Amino acid sequence: MSPRARIVLGTIAAASISFASTLCAANGSADAIQQRATVHFADLNLDRSGDVAVLYERISVAAQQVCRQRALNGADVVSPRYDQCVADTVEKAVARVNRASLTAFSRERQPVRVASAAPF
């Protein structure tokens, strides 16, 4: 792929890599709040492992910001779903980028999920 085509594709993808996460409101009600973030990566070459790592970090930081819950006074609210929200949001953003190098990088960093057995 030519450098110019890569930049154009990166610019188009950057505009579309806006991802959202639905969170429960801080008061615990069933109302949902949607947070969005846009991660730009037109400046990165995803054929280079260093740039893939930079994009993954940008996605991770954005996911942490999207999943953070704030109280009315601006303080962070500890949510038992925070870690799962971040993991799910990163996974969805990586899927939207749809580049094998980023997908492989992400899979290397994800903890192995083991289904628990039902109690006897």
Round the average pLDDT of the chain to a whole number and report it: 74
- pLDDT tens for 39-62 read 989 999 999 999 999 999 999 999
Which is higher by pLDDT, 28 or 104?
A: 104
- Cα separation, 105 vs 35, in Å, equals 25
With pLDDT > 90 as the criterion, what percentage of the chain qualifies?
Answer: 36
Nearest alpha carbon to residue 37 among 105, 92, 100: 92
Per-residue model confidence (pLDDT) at position 110 = 76
CB-CB contact of 17 with 44 (8 Å): no
Q: Where are the domains of the chain?
A: 3-106
- pLDDT tens for 87-100 read 999 999 999 999 99
| pTM, full prediction | 0.67
